[in-house]
Amino acid sequence: MRAFKPYLDIDLAALCRNYRRLADMAPASEAASVVKCDAYGLGAAAVGAALMRHGKCRSFFVAYCGEGAALREALGSDPDIYIFNGPFETDLDAFREFRLIPVVNTIDQARLWAIEMKSAPAAIHIDTGMHRLGMPLNEAQDAAAADGLNVSLVMSHLACASDPAHPMNARQRAAMARLAALFPAARLSLSSSGGALLGAPFAYDMTRLGVGLYGVSPHETAVDQIEPVVRLSAPVLQVQEIEAGETVGYGASFTADRKSVLATVALGYGDGFPRAGSNRAAAVLGGAPCPIAGRVSMDLIVLDATDAPNRPDIGDRAEFFGPAMPIDAVAKACGTIGYELLTAIGGLAKRQSALGLRVERRYLWNGAPADATIAGE
């Protein structure tokens, strides 16, 4: 039976291969996985389970304590789960109950953890130039002295990992040497996926891999090192022909310059597809990329299929990103980045359920439906 709704297909085997490729760039370091924001919209429970079982990943990072608690329930007691945003007084019970490891970002968080949690391990985030989260080096000295703080990991974050030639990368790496001297017993971590692609000197004891796992290239030179993981497709609801001079969609922002074949598909900004892709992005349909004609609506997008080798039919599926339509190029056409496309669309997508269904998330293993034990079902 053909379903007339969009699908977000997630190939967990491809995810695990990306994990292995990025991990193998620095075989001496541990490769941790970043599964914040529900694994960039792909489902942290399924992604985490696949990376643990098939990738042998044993450390995960999320932003919030609540995300960590849910991940602990999904993955069981084995993995280390780190919380980027650090400990707050209101969260301490959950940190205890779910055995979560905080990333301590301020001297106050260091004191809170040392006093309330005694010798439970903590990571500490030192700012080496990004000025987002983390404490400056001089405060880190006080944190190091804070009574009883058991620092197991010292991390920092690269501001310009998406640009391998940026001088900031070398500067931040130089700062890591001073951190290592301050915390001789702790493991060190600096790199996200972009940093991991900068090579072993940036890997230290642990890399924190995010977007590259999910098939988005951390930088343009890395496109062939990362394979696609996610495919967004939407079905054709209606096909029509219009004459030259006729217009399409709200605001009549597209005017046909010839007799044209239009395919209206079931996807829109209500599903997280950016309205900024109006008249700019394209989707593969009928064997070729077909440009979006006119504005993206809440539920609908019209594709200009005039040049497609095969005339589309009702129920055919247009691929908005995936193996045939690179997500990085689509993001660029929409004036954004792959991260935002994934979290926006994946965040609204749901597993099969009786009600309220729009985009349906489906898990695959090398193209076939994934084993039901994956995703903790």
Q: Active-site positions?
A: 36, 250
Closer to ligand PLP at the Cβ: 194 or 346?
A: 194
The distance of closest approach from Cβ of residue 85 to ligand PLP in the complex, given in angstroms and rounded to an integer, is 10
Nearest to 198 by CA among 178, 177, 168, 229: 168
Closer to ligand PLP at the Cβ: 210 or 272?
A: 210
The distance of closest approach from Cβ of residue 87 to ligand PLP in the complex, given in angstroms and rounded to an integer, is 16
- Which three-class secondary structure string do you get for 220-237? HHHHHHCCCCEEEEEEEE
Asked if 83 and 63 touch (Cβ cutoff 8 Å), the reply is yes
Closer to ligand PLP at the Cβ: 207 or 306?
A: 207
Asked if 265 and 293 touch (Cβ cutoff 8 Å), the reply is no
CB-neighbour burial class of residue 236 (10 A; exposed 0-12, middle 13-18, buried 19+): buried
Fill in the amino acid letter for 20: R
Nearest to 42 by CA among 232, 207, 237: 232
The number of residues in the chain equals 377
The distance of closest approach from Cβ of residue 217 to ligand PLP in the complex, given in angstroms and rounded to an integer, is 10
Q: 166 phi and psi, to 5 degrees?
A: -70, 130
270 vs 5: CA distance, rounded Å: 13
The distance of closest approach from Cβ of residue 154 to ligand PLP in the complex, given in angstroms and rounded to an integer, is 13
Closer to ligand PLP at the Cβ: 226 or 283?
A: 226
Asked if 152 and 124 touch (Cβ cutoff 8 Å), the reply is no
The distance of closest approach from Cβ of residue 36 to ligand PLP in the complex, given in angstroms and rounded to an integer, is 6
The distance of closest approach from Cβ of residue 259 to ligand PLP in the complex, given in angstroms and rounded to an integer, is 45
224 vs 106: CA distance, rounded Å: 39
Residue facing ligand PLP at closest CB distance: 210
The distance of closest approach from Cβ of residue 343 to ligand PLP in the complex, given in angstroms and rounded to an integer, is 11
Give residues with Cβ within 8 angstroms of 144, minimum separation 6: 151, 182, 183
Footprint on this chain of ligand PLP (rule: CB under 6 A): 34, 36, 84, 157, 192-194, 208-212, 218
CB-neighbour burial class of residue 313 (10 A; exposed 0-12, middle 13-18, buried 19+): exposed
358 vs 345: CA distance, rounded Å: 11
Both structure tokens of 7: 């699908």
* Widest distance between CA atoms in the chain: 77
372 vs 113: CA distance, rounded Å: 39
Other beta carbons within 10 angstroms of residue 111's beta carbon come to 16
